[in-house]
Amino acid sequence: MIRVGVVGASGYSGAVAARLVESHPRLSLAFATSDKLAGESVAAHLGLAAVAGADTSTRFVPNAAALDHGDACDVVLLATAADVSMRLAPAFAERGRTVVDLSGAFRLEAPAYPRWYGFEHAAPAWLGRAHYGLPELFPLPRPAPAGALVANPGCYATAALLALGPLVREGLVEPAGIVVDGKSGVTGAGRQSGEAHSFVAIDGDVRAYRVLGHQHTPEIVRALSRFAAGVKLTFTAHLLPVARGLLATCYARPRAGTTAARVTECLHAAYAKAPFVRVVPPDEARLSRVVGTNFALVGASADEDMVVAVGAIDNLLKGAAGQAVQNLNVMNGWDETLGLAHLQRVSP
């Protein structure tokens, strides 16, 4: 059993990560941190009592004590804010621990952080060492070396890149002028207590947020730029009045010879061996078919003027905790679906 610590385990992504670890046949939960729940039962708060073999004696420890528990684990999942992960990830990795960071602390280049995250990066040397953890498009080291650092992709970036990445890589679309329209459930914003995220403010409404300033914009551009030069992209995020689930609709100009059949064939070829990506007609990439699972549904079509590619995921699973566990499976040489295949969608 590989021992896993989860830092920030009372947030949405961290809680899901802890549950996945405890139900995984090759992982065990070494510790979990939370300031507001310090000293309380992990099993009681995360619903682990019903998980076969779960340790019901584990108590939350404060976030500040995370490094003190580093010797008790082999892997650390950081479900923390980017400025916190920026400090913790190198400290754990230098101790030889594998780190999977669910924040954006290691997804960009150092000069981008002041604009997109509001801080100067304190560990720029680690940015070049971090592996971008989207295994369907960017291979991860197998097995992972001691002290490996994985930057888990953002939820919007995951859906957009899975839908659009193969089309850019194969030269079927122009890399400039791409537009990504993303819509996510409320859990994508983390636990929020303000009026803007209250039931009354969200129910029956849809709104754009962080217009021309969302931190997933440079992340998507950087990833696509590994496939083609001259990527220029506009991304807008929207908040949906649902708990979870994310849909990204991507628009790009077709290159000569691009047809609806070619873009569909391209996606099928890209994901023929990807257990968690299913290619469907674009109008069948729906939240109700992925929420509760680690699957991504992608589809695309084209005419002479436009290519439209759609990706649907569960923002807490394939967009966060599920992908983190998938990355651990890959890096340990296990079946990619281990501990994730049992997940079931939560709607009919």
Q: Which residue numbers are catalytic? A: 155
Angle at 188 (CA atoms; ends 187, 194), nearest 5 degrees:
65
Strands 98-101 vs 277-279: parallel, antiparallel or unpaired: unpaired
Q: Are 16 and 322 in contact (CB under 8 A)?
A: yes
Q: Are 95 and 75 in contact (CB under 8 A)?
A: no
Rg from Cα positions in the chain: 19
Q: Are 22 and 54 in contact (CB under 8 A)?
A: yes
Closest CA to 72 of 12, 124, 5, 128: 5
Q: Is the peptide bond before 114 cis (omega within 30 degrees of 0)?
A: no
Closest CA to 308 of 178, 183, 143, 199: 178
Strand, helix or coil for residue 20: helix
Q: What's the Cα-to-Cα distance from 302 to each of 98, 160, 162, 221, rounded to whole Å?
A: 42, 17, 17, 22
Strands 149-151 vs 98-101: parallel, antiparallel or unpaired: parallel
